[in-house]
Chains A and B, each alone.
Chain A
């Protein structure tokens, strides 16, 4: 059933990674992703992979859950690999296929891109697996605050994200209900060609949009009734504060970057 779809893939378990400050986790992920785009040889790749494996082990998230994230982009991974293999020019020709030539450089490049993509997905899904959506938006709000001066509405962005996340299950429920109601009127969403299938979506989408707008209206009213007027002078219930573990984590991140630079310089 449609209700079984889970969005926001938080994996609830008690681990040192889970209890880290979300701001720190966001920055760490950001730093790691940047590193992934800088590293270029086997040694740095191996080191980054090792570091990621270490964090996964500490986070206590089962590998099965992490692999799920990769499954969803398997098409993109395969596509990237094929494009890289076929379009990279090189001197060591392995195989010729009409216009395309497969070269050793191509295979090497493709492997690198695929590994990089996988590490990218794993590291960013590790962030969402160990951080609740609410913590995440709180962290984003805080980190965007400096940009308020140039007109970025950081509180509003975070509030929008929180509300959107909050209403995903509600809207899924609503979709389920509307689908059933139309099925009770003989609607058929499974058979028929592409055009017919697209047409059969109208009886779902129109009521869904109407109900989403109605909900938005009601929510806005309810928020205003409680004197909500944006982020100015708002205090929070849980003030984010760095703990001892957060400082250790900071040291680990710095250590990782320094080691990476050393490896790159030495090799």
Chain B
């Protein structure tokens, strides 16, 4: 599965006085199995962009190719596109509605018109992937904890077995434990299933730790794209568009200013721990 975006532009309320360009002539290519981090401050067009990828929003101009096929070409294939590109919205637990956890996860596969056996298999597999045990299957989704609810909601998308999984700030509003659980589940999924994962996040730490490639958006345009070292190396530029490098890189910068010879391309806490620990050892 590969995604190619050509000259994508989206204008809300086009032709009226309230017209607003949310996406401005974007070109992008995502190849199979990539783990992408999409960052940008509020209103930069991230959400609009990801909703284009499963045809929830139609482009004003330009095209989106999924394996070389324009997804907006034929209306009849909408369901198949939404099956292949799974989109987990912000606060996905707000979309839960069924009486039991199990039934809610079955909603997606049922809409795809699969056989009952297949639906059952997919639902159970999806719930297992996000770490929801069988003892919770028959509970009402509304009596679960915040983190559990969110995992059930993500399972609802996973049960459709998409080739591309897009998550819009999946950790917003969760406590640190819930956040780690979700992120670890996503990371594991990416490794095990080999699907494309696009993670929209405001946490530079999470992005630096998890993704292969970062895409930075600002005012509807892609400002820069590259590995975390390439992107976070430009801390000044990121700050100028309302973002920042991961906090640990500022620690490293501070240390360098104080005269310690520490590497500057350290963006995760694990890396930093390692570097500083080995330096301390040498000092001794």
Contact = CB atoms under 8 A, between A and B. Distances in A.
A158 B160 CA distance: 47
A186 B108 contact: yes
A184 B87 contact: yes
A185 B94 contact: no
B97 A180 contact: no
Contact of B157 (A4, A184, A187, A207): A184
A243 interface: no
A187 B54 contact: no
B79 A186 contact: yes
A183 B112 CA distance: 11
Contacts of A74: none
Interface string A207-234: 1001100000000000000000000000
A185 B97 contact: no
Contacts of B249: none
Interface residues of A, number: 18
Nearest to B166: A184
Contacts, number: 55
A4 B111 CA distance: 28
Given A178-B95, A180-B89, A185 B142 contact: no
B111 A185 contact: yes
Nearest to B51: A180
Interface in B58-110: 79, 82-83, 86-89, 92, 94-97, 107-108
A207 B56 contact: no
A166 interface: no
B170 interface: no
B13 interface: yes
A207 B96 contact: yes
A228 B145 CA distance: 31
A183 B108 CA distance: 9
Given A185-B107, A185-B108, A188-B111, A178 B94 contact: yes
A57 to B, nearest CB: 25
Nearest to A181: B95
B111 A187 contact: yes
A68 interface: no
Interface string A13-29: 00000000000000000
Contacts of B112: 186
A202 interface: yes
Contacts of A207: 94-97
A184 B51 CA distance: 9
A186 B160 contact: yes
Contacts of A206: 97
Nearest to B95: A181
Nearest to B86: A184
Interface string B36-63: 0000000000000001001010000000
A64 to B, nearest CB: 15
B156 interface: yes
A182 interface: yes
B106 to A, nearest CB: 10
A203 interface: yes
11 contacts: A4-B13, A178-B95, A180-B89, A183-B56, A184-B82, A184-B88, A184-B157, A185-B157, A186-B108, A186-B111, A203-B97
